Structure 1
Amino acid sequence: MSTRLVVVHPDASVLAEAAAARLLTRVLDVQSVRSPVHVVLTGGTVGIKTLAAVAASPLRTAVDWSGVHLWWGDERFLPAGDPDRNETQAREALIDDLVASSGLPERHVHAVPAHGAGPGEATTPEEAAAAYADELASFAPDGRDVPPFDVLLLGMGPDGHVASLFPEHPALGASGTVVGVHGSPKPPPERVSLTFAAIGAAREVWVVAAGAEKAAQTAAALSDGPVTQVPAVRAVGHDRTLWLLDAAAAAPTA
């Protein structure tokens, strides 16, 4: 049975530093018993700050990055290199440095196909979703649709969304492992997202949230509110779920 732990840090900066240290420790712990390690990254302010803190940590040198695979929980369906893509921001914060100096193979960086007509790109969110689902399945054990994610990081929006699964949106009920998203209430309108089935297959899901604007939805998710209003309530890992919060996001609401 999955367990849930809520950890509260003083502010967003400490939260990012602590999440980075926790992530590196988790990767090292997994590498002590099995390989490869599969990690799903998230975007957002705290998500990218966490990756930057990983880059700055001396503990990163202890990781065997040649045995790590990086994935994404969602992506904005934009051209390659667009500054608003989660991949672009993650590369600038951490990944390019790991590839250049720490032995992370470029082939282990599993980006969601970008919007375009070139090799490895896609012309619609559905095409990108199908290609990403195939990529996930190619690294999955027999009988599974996704790799055994050791950590799946998620941010949470002020509306309670996780990945690109928004309140009252049709994508909440999507089948399969990856869904193309249209009409996102947060720009850009077209996105690609893991489904709840793929998220729930992760060994551990970590929801990282900071800011007073997240407090109401944090409380609702931790009180098992309806998924149509608080999608984050379905962000549950197979073995464990961590809510990593700053004090503002964890504050009681009236």
Structure 2
Amino acid sequence: MSDRRVVVLPDKAQLAEGVANRFVGRLAQLTQEGRPVHISLTGGSMGSAVLAATAAHGWASNIDWSLVHFWWSDERFVPRADAERNAGQARDALLERISVPAENVHEPAASDDGITLDQAAYAYAAELARYGEDDRPWPAFDVCFLGVGPDGHIASLFPDRSEVLVTDRAVLPVRESPKPPPERITFTLPVINTSADIWMVVAGADKASALGLTLAGAGQAGVPAAGASGTADTVVFVDQDAAADVPEDLIDPEY
């Protein structure tokens, strides 16, 4: 597990651009190795803003997107065309603007695909297992993006719920989510924590308290974000408004 470092940028616009700059640079480095690269995306306004800034980046056209596989740490179980779908937002912001093969976009099933929520979670776990290694039935993500809710949730792992404690499954169905829509699909923490780099992107004063608890080492049951840690790096990118409770010694001005 890696120590957390924090990168503070002035506002949401500069936060999105700063993360996108680093993401494109990381992709350029990884794809030069000539191997498949696995990226886990997140939803929300900042997730989409980072992807839109990535698409607009001057180096984006130089990335070998045929090597890049996209996944989602969670998805809303709603119709495929619903604006709430994380995958739909990502397609609009980035995926439809780059030359990534369709088979490299691993989108969880939607509620109008003719299967149940449980079947959708099982199918997504089976898709992950196609790219697993050894005894691990999922890929090790090179970069896993995560948002953090005001309550400290990540993906669809919410505080004081059983899903955040599950370690023997890769994907779970979520019912009666405290944040709408009520039905979702989510990675478990073991999948998230196999990622080399975990990048949390956090903006807004309403996230400051949850971020402070995360960085203070709160228990993952009550603050799921505190349980996320990459095997190489765990970086929290924040705007100034979200950084109110960040200890000065955790801020890395050079990352």
Normalised-by-shorter TM-score class: over 0.9
- After TM superposition, the structure 1 = structure 2 runs for residues 1-254 of structure 1, keeping only pairs within 5 Å, are 1-98=1-98, 103-118=99-114, 122-124=115-117, 126-174=118-166, 175-252=168-245
State the AA in 2 paired with 1:245: V
User: What is the rounded CA distance, in whole Å, between the counterparts of 2:47 and 2:176 in structure 1?
Assistant: 23
Deviations 1:139-167 (A, max 9, x none): 11232211121000000111100000001
Cα displacement (A) at 1:228: 2.0
- Number of corresponding residues: 245
Cα displacement (A) at 1:129: 1.0
State the AA in 2 paired with 1:164: S
User: What is the rounded CA distance, in whole Å, between the counterparts of 1:37 and 1:194 in structure 2?
Assistant: 18
Secondary structure of the residue that 2:195 maps to in structure 1? coil
| Contact kept? 2:219, 2:227, Cα under 8 Å | no
CA RMSD of aligned residues (A): 1.2
| Contact kept? 1:207, 1:235, Cα under 8 Å | no
State the AA in 2 paired with 1:132: Y
| Contact kept? 2:76, 2:185, Cα under 8 Å | yes
| Contact kept? 2:198, 2:230, Cα under 8 Å | yes
User: What is the rounded CA distance, in whole Å, between the counterparts of 2:68 and 2:23 in structure 1?
Assistant: 12
State the AA in 2 paired with 1:107: E
Greater alpha carbon shift after TM alignment, 33-42 vs 68-77: 33-42
Cα displacement (A) at 1:117: 4.3
| Contact kept? 2:211, 2:245, Cα under 8 Å | no
User: What is the rounded CA distance, in whole Å, between the counterparts of 1:147 and 1:215 in structure 2?
Assistant: 32
After TM superposition, what 4+ stretches of structure 1 lie above 4 angstroms from structure 2?
A: none
Secondary structure of the residue that 1:40 maps to in structure 2? strand
State the AA in 2 paired with 1:97: R
TM-score after normalising by structure 1: 0.93
Structure 2: gaps of 5 or more residues: 247-255
Deviations 1:83-139 (A, max 9, x none): 1100111111111121xxxx3100100001111244xxx222x21111101000101
Cα displacement (A) at 1:34: 4.2
Cα displacement (A) at 1:62: 1.6
Cα displacement (A) at 1:7: 0.5
User: What is the rounded CA distance, in whole Å, between the counterparts of 2:19 and 2:194 in structure 1?
Assistant: 21
State the AA in 1 paired with 2:176: G
| Contact kept? 1:116, 1:123, Cα under 8 Å | no
User: What is the rounded CA distance, in whole Å, between the counterparts of 2:39 and 2:19 in structure 1?
Assistant: 13
Cα displacement (A) at 1:32: 2.3
| Contact kept? 2:171, 2:186, Cα under 8 Å | yes
State the AA in 1 paired with 2:112: G
